[in-house]
Amino acid sequence: MGVADGLFGALFARGAADTSDRAWLQAMLDTEAALARAVERAGLAPAGSGAAVTAIAHAESFSNEPLRLAATATGNPVPALVKALTQLLPEAATPAADAIHRGATSQDIIDTAAMLLAHRSLDAIQSDLAVAATGCAAHAGTHADTVMSGRTLLQQAVPVTFGLVAAGWLTAIDEARLELHRIKTTKLAVQFGGAAGTLASLGDAGPAVAALFGEELGLAVPVLPWHTDRLRIIELAASLAGVCAALGKIARDVTLLAQTEVAEVHEAAEAGRGGSSAMPHKQNPVAAIVILGCAKQAPGLLATLAAAAEQEHQRAAGAWHSEWHPLSDLLVLTSSAAAWSADLLPTLQIDPVRMRANLESTHGLAMTENIATLLTPALGRLAAHDLVARASARAKQTGVTLTDALLSNTDSAARLAEADITRPQIESALRPESYLGATGEFIRRALAAHADCESSLAR
């Protein structure tokens, strides 16, 4: 099922999350086995029933093809699976058949299986995100003072440091990790409501079985069945899309910074990686490109799942069915983006010399805000801004430095003299290191928040 299959699976299903047909089948079998154990523990089935069902609930004992064909008759594969599972019971364990699917409906099994798949996938995603975050934290610390051009609207702005850029990446990843943890621990819940959400077939024992069911699977127990309340699915999908958004932003930065004309970062070179079928010289940023390829599919999948949340009465006709593929694909794509990021970020190559050269290529124009700030006490904010803007235009037109553009013009030189602003003062204000504001503090905060995140997730 989904993006893991086929020619592009190595790109878009690189992560450890598994939502294949076999993984879905095993999750449904694990759900049925857990329910049988819960039913036995509630005293509604003979002793040993749970163990008997668990012993045969292995996907390798089942063929997908009969289940796939049978699903066309019932709208999902669960009825056929229940029949096949029951038939596998050895003769000595036939009383355990009473525990199979007891009190459940097909949606209970598939929804709970989806929660199990998500739980397992989130573990894999979290593992790769931890590696990616560690890489970002290392860059943030190592390059806290590595000055580079800040860029707004794709144009050079004021200076920043690469450490601050990496700290921004780190914070986004860590916030996504914490949200995934919240979803895993509070929103991944068993589904158990029976035909219409009342568990009527279990009489008064329904809530007790539901609690034991959740305990068996290690999933949360909801206040009541959520057959047509799909907020859990939306929150899960939104958290996955959030991971993709964070990783996609990082990957976009890398592709821009790795452009030939910029060349401030490079993906670690591997033999044969990054090549072109036509141009032997190419070294394409493959990891960043594929992360973007994964991330750009997430919003559409999230939108599909959000649209499916409008479900009628106690059980939906079609909307529920429409969730299975997009949720599976979103789990796999997010896992792949995380795996590629774990590969990309710890080994990303940084070029401080190129960063400095690009920053200095404008001959001081990146520091115009600081020069205007220097002049404001004497000239006023608007007058200082206009004077520096005119000098910047002359610098661009003539190719001189901003200092020379300011001092070679009669009007601006006179204004500077009146304000007692000297060449050494201007040149000092043009030093990028003099205009980094709270950069160091922000990096320290990001690294401290990262330590807190690691501590929180380790508990």
Outline where 143-193 has alpha helix (H).
162-182
Q: Which long-range contacts (CB under 8 A, 24 or more apart) does 179-186 make?
A: 179/239, 179/242, 180/122, 180/125, 180/126, 180/129, 180/239, 180/240, 180/243, 181/126, 181/456, 181/457, 182/239, 183/122, 183/235, 183/236, 183/239, 184/118, 184/119, 184/122, 185/220, 186/220
Active site residue 276: yes
68 Cβ neighbours under 8 A, 6+ residues apart? 77
CA-nearest of 289, 297, 287, 293 to 330 is 297
Q: How far apart are CA 257 and CA 348, in angstroms?
A: 11
**Are the beta carbons of 216 and 34 closer than 8 angstroms?**
yes
Of 61, 63, 201, 276, which one is the catalytic site residue? 276
- What tokens appear for 451 in the block? 């330590």
CA-nearest of 51, 45, 52, 81 to 66 is 81
Q: How far apart are CA 397 and CA 141, in angstroms?
A: 39
**Are the beta carbons of 169 and 143 closer than 8 angstroms?**
no
Instruction: DSSP letter for 337, please.
Output: H
Q: How far apart are CA 128 and CA 335, in angstroms?
A: 8
234 CB burial (10 A radius; 0-12, 13-18, 19+)? middle
Q: How far apart are CA 30 and CA 114, in angstroms?
A: 11
3-state secondary structure of 131: helix
Count of Cβ atoms closer than 10 Å to residue 402 Cβ? 25
CA-nearest of 85, 33, 93 to 62 is 85
Q: In Å, how far are 360, 422, 453 from 177, measured between CA atoms?
A: 37, 51, 8
CA-nearest of 245, 219, 5 to 120 is 219
3-state secondary structure of 156: strand
Of 22, 127, 252, 315, which one is the catalytic site residue? 315
Please state whether 82 falls in left (phi above 0), alpha (psi between -120 and 50) or beta: alpha
Catalytic residues: 276, 315
